[in-house]
């Protein structure tokens, strides 16, 4: 089954085919680096990274670009409040972004362009728009002329009149049309500025993404993603600028994730109801946060709550335990000669379903269901059979490792991250404890368990021996 994605440009699910066979050009709108990111910001970053990993898992080469907006009103105001330069502010929160994103297990993008590093490309794009009659200069500002671009409103599915009617846009006498937007803003006193054909100034918000995407990925890219709040005006404007300048289709598939809600309301800075990623990670593991993000379809709203996160903690524990149980069985159970076809078929069916779900518009909740089915099948099998079918269990192990590689919700790498010396020491103590238990020397057995617990090693006594693992 090929990959289907819901395209916001056409408002329907479509088969995904990249412009160039085997290669995907993927652009995601990144953060404005004026503060720590909150969990609502993290939703697209986690989700689209996983979509990209799934594409790689399917054999695509993915060039994945995520920008940093490091110059705009919010940056200028915040820098002023803190008494530092806009550049220092950007450095500080880009560093913070990487700390948070790395901790959340978000894989690094191929490239992280910054708006201020693309000023020449931005200026060139604005010049092109002026030449082609899509933009005009007023007192050092440059505006995009929406009336000159007939397709304006296609993405948000609204005509100019409709967009205006509910409008809370203030009338700006400089603009020809109220929906015209700034491509370049003339410098105000004290603001950072760059030299341009229209005098000192800085880029408008929307132009940076078009300029960077075009420069890095080309005039037509495969996927452009971001939160739904970017649909209008940000992405609508990006299309207008890019297509008016190049005359080519800018983005082939637009995808947007639904909002993260808190107490039934959108989590956003202006509402003041945010939970930062840092705060969330003090309480919940990255695995649980990731699982939580995957538990609903990416286009649906998702409610953040302590209850929901606690559910995710338990669910992630179940997956991880399933993995541990499986590894333990493969190491310690006697092998059976003949194959178990029922188990094998179940595992295969489960993996096939996992793929189908992800390929059906990135249905992560469905794919998770398949992963849980696999765990239950294995657990159930291990509960009923003393001797095990090694081949089938290896199949299951391979599948769960794949789930973890794409979704990052089991933590296999961290579980295995123990050096050999430590491992042999642990195993020596575990067998010493086993002997003590057999000799009914429970005092000693408990002491060993205590000692290892202090080192972050958890012991669990099972009917098949004592299983140990890292505390996570």
Partner RNA sequence: GGCGGCAUAGCCAAGUGGUAAGGCAAGGGACUGCAAAUCCCCUAUCCCCCGGUUCGAAUCCGGGUGCCGCCUCCA
Binders of RNA among residues 174 to 193 (CB under 7 A) are 179
- Where does this chain touch RNA (CB under 7 A) — which range of 279-287, 294-302, 405-413, 417-425? 294-302
Using CB under 7 A, pick the residue from 264, 338, 417, 419 that binds RNA.
Answer: 264
Q: Going by C-beta distance under 8 Å and a sequence separation of 6 or more, which residues neighbour residue 55?
A: 3, 24, 26, 62
CB of 104 to RNA, least distance (A): 14
Place of tokens 């794949």: 402
Rounded Cα distance between 224 and 298, Å, is 15
Task: Give the nearer residue to RNA in terms of CB position, either 198 or 354.
Answer: 354
Task: Compute the distance between CA of residue 399 and CA of residue 407 in angstroms, rounded to an integer.
Answer: 12
Exactly one of 109, 163, 207, 277 binds RNA (CB under 7 A); which one? 163
Site for RNA in 321-380 (CB under 7 A): 321-322, 325, 357, 360-361, 363, 365-366, 368-369, 372-373, 375-376, 379-380
Among 219, 348, 390, 460, binds RNA (CB under 7 A): 460
Instruction: Decide: is 318 part of the binding site for RNA (CB under 7 A).
Output: yes
Backbone angles phi, psi at 188, to 5 degrees: -105, 160
Considering the rule CB under 7 A, would residue 43 count as an interface residue with RNA?
A: yes
276 in contact with RNA (CB under 7 A) = no
Angle between helices 306-332 and 286-294 (to 10 degrees): 110
The least distance separating RNA from the CB of residue 45, rounded to whole angstroms, comes to 8
Please give the helix or strand (H or E) that residue 316 lies within, else none.
Answer: helix 306-332
- 10 binds RNA, rule: CB under 7 A: no
| Contact status: 453 vs RNA (CB under 7 A) | no
Report if residue 266 touches RNA, rule: CB under 7 A. Answer: yes
296 is an interface residue for RNA by CB under 7 A: yes
d(CA 35, CA 274): 12
Shortest CB 297 distance to RNA, Å: 3
Does 430 help bind RNA (rule: CB under 7 A)?
A: no
Among 301, 405, 415, 470, binds RNA (CB under 7 A): 301
Does 233 bind RNA (CB under 7 A)? Our answer is yes
Question: In whole angstroms, how close is the CB of 421 to RNA at the nearest point?
Answer: 25
Applying CB under 7 A, the span of 79-87, 95-103, 110-118, 456-464 interacting with RNA comes to 456-464
Minimum distance from residue 288 beta carbon to RNA (Å) = 10
Do the Cβ atoms of 221 and 24 come closer than 8 Å? no
Distances (CA, A) of 32 to 52, 68, 78, 91, 97: 22, 6, 11, 12, 10
Q: What angle do CA 356, 357, 363 make, to 5 degrees?
A: 150
What dihedral do alpha carbons 265, 271, 277, 282 form, nearest 10°? -80
CB 241 within 8 A of CB 212: no
CA 459 to chain CA mean position, Å: 34
CB of 20 to RNA, least distance (A): 26
Residue 311 found at the interface with RNA (CB under 7 A): yes
Sequence-separated contacts (24+) of 304-309 with Cβ below 8 Å: 304/39, 304/40, 304/260, 304/261, 304/262, 304/267, 304/275, 305/262, 305/263, 309/280, 309/283, 309/284
By CB under 7 A, residue 77 contacts RNA:
no
For RNA, the binding residue among 126, 146, 240, 315 (CB under 7 A) is: 315
Nearest to 101 by CA among 53, 26, 52, 39: 39
Does 1 engage in binding with RNA (CB under 7 A)? no
Burial level of 314, CB count in 10 A (0-12/13-18/19+)?
A: exposed
> Judged by CB under 7 A, how many residues of this single chain contact RNA?
88
Distance between CA atoms of residues 41 and 108, nearest Å: 16
State the nearest-atom distance from the C-beta of 312 to RNA, in Å.
7
Stretch that binds RNA, among 19-27, 80-88, 190-198, 458-466 (CB under 7 A): 458-466
Min CB(404)–RNA separation in Å: 16
| Shortest Å, Cβ 295 to RNA | 5
What 274-279 contacts at long range (C-beta under 8 Å, 24+ apart), as own/partner pairs, is 274/38, 274/39, 274/40, 275/38, 275/39, 275/304, 276/36, 276/37, 276/38, 276/39, 277/36, 277/37, 277/38, 277/39, 277/41, 277/42, 277/100, 277/103, 277/104, 278/36, 278/100
Closest CA to 130 of 142, 118, 122: 142
When binding is defined by CB under 7 A, the residue of 193, 231, 249, 401 that contacts RNA is 231
Tell me whether residue 157 or residue 339 sits nearer to RNA (CB atom). 157
Q: Which is nearer to RNA, 269 or 333 (CB)?
A: 269
The verdict on 462 binding RNA (CB under 7 A) reads yes
What is the residue whose two structure tokens read 């030299």? 195
> Of 110, 228, 246, 276, which one interacts with RNA (CB under 7 A)?
228
Please report, as residue ranges, which positions from 92 to 131 form the binding site for RNA (by CB under 7 A): none
226 binds RNA (CB under 7 A): yes
Q: Which CB sits closer to RNA, 337 or 440?
A: 440
Residue 283 lies near RNA (rule: CB under 7 A): no
């Amino acid at each position: 089954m090929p990959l289907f994605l819901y395209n916001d440009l056409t408002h329907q699910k479509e088969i995904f085919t990249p412009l160039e066979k085997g290669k995907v050009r993927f652009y995601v709108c990144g953060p404005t680096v004026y503060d720590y990111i909150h969990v609502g910001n993290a939703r697209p970053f986690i989700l689209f990274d996983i979509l990209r990993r799934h594409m790689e898992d399917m054999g695509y080469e993915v060039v994945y670009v995520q920008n940093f907006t490091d110059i705009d009103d919010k940056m200028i105001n915040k820098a002023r409040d803190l008494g530092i330069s806009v550049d220092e502010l950007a450095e500080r929160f880009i560093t913070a972004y990487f700390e948070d994103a790395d901790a959340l297990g978000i894989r690094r993008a191929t490239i992280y362009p910054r708006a201020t590093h693309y000023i020449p490309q931005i200026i060139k794009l604005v010049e092109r728009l002026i030449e082609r009659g899509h933009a005009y200069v007023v007192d050092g500002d440059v505006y995009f002329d929406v009336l000159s671009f007939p397709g304006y409103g296609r993405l948000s599915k609204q005509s100019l009149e409709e967009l205006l009617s509910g409008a809370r846009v203030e009338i700006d006498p400089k603009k020809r049309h109220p929906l015209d937007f700034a491509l370049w803003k003339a410098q105000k006193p004290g603001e950072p500025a760059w030299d341009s054909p229209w005098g000192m100034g800085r880029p408008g918000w929307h132009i940076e993404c078009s300029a960077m995407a075009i420069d890095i990925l080309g005039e037509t890219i495969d996927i452009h993603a971001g939160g739904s709040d970017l649909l209008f005006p940000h992405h609508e404007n990006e299309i207008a600028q890019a297509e008016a300048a190049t005359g080519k289709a800018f983005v082939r598939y637009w995808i947007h994730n639904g909002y993260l809600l808190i107490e039934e309301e959108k989590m956003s800075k202006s509402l003041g109801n945010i939970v930062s990623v840092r705060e969330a990670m003090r309480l919940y593991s990255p695995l649980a946060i990731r699982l939580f993000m995957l538990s609903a379809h990416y286009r649906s709203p998702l409610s953040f709550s302590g209850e929901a996160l606690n559910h995710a903690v338990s669910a992630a524990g179940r997956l991880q335990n399933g993995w541990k149980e499986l590894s333990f069985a493969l190491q310690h159970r006697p092998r059976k000669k003949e194959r178990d076809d029922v188990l094998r078929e179940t595992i295969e069916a489960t993996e096939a379903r996992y793929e189908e779900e992800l390929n059906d518009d990135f249905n992560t909740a469905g794919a998770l269901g398949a992963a849980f089915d696999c765990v239950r099948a294995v657990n159930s099998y291990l509960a009923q059979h003393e001797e095990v079918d090694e081949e089938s269990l290896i199949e299951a192990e391979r599948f769960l490792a794949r789930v973890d590689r794409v979704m990052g919700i089991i933590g296999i790498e961290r579980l295995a991250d123990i050096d050999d010396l430590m491992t042999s020491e642990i195993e020596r103590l575990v067998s010493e404890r086993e002997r003590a238990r057999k000799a009914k020397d429970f005092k000693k057995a408990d002491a060993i368990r205590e000692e290892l617990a202090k080192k972050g090693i958890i012991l669990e006594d099972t009917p098949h021996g004592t299983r140990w693992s890292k505390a996570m």
